[in-house]
Structure formats: structure tokens, C-alpha cells
Amino acid sequence: MTTVTQLKCACPKCLCIVSVEDAINKDGKYYCSEGCAEGHQTLKGCHHQGCEC
């Protein structure tokens, strides 16, 4: 039995879909990258082309 749970990255400008297993969990929200998880205070963008975050 396989459970695949996919969520949109919690960063508002990010379009990435992440699986719960691979996501960065911060404060109960799931993010696709460290940059998204920290709110892009020091890291711009994510590693995904087409996102404007």
C-alpha cells in the first residue's frame, strides 16, 4: 500500500508541488526548498524554474 500525499508549497508565490516525504516541514507547513521555508529572507527563489518566489 502506497500513500502519496502531495501538497502545494506553502510559499504563496511558489507553484511547486511537493510530496510530504520530500518537503521541508516548518511550523506545520510544507515547503519545497529551504528558501521557501525561511520566507526568502536570505535565499531567493527555489530550485524550480517558473517560480517567481
Out of 5, 14, 21, 27, the residue judged to bind Zn ion by CB under 5 A: 14
* Contact flag: residue 10 with Zn ion (CB under 5 A): no
Rank residues 2 and 50 by Cβ distance to Zn ion and give the closer one. Answer: 50
* Contact flag: residue 37 with Zn ion (CB under 5 A): no
Out of 23, 30, 36, 37, the residue judged to bind Zn ion by CB under 5 A: 36
SS (H, E, C) 1-53: CCCCCEEECCCCCCCCEEECCCCEEECCEEECCHHHHCCCCCCCCCCCCCCCC
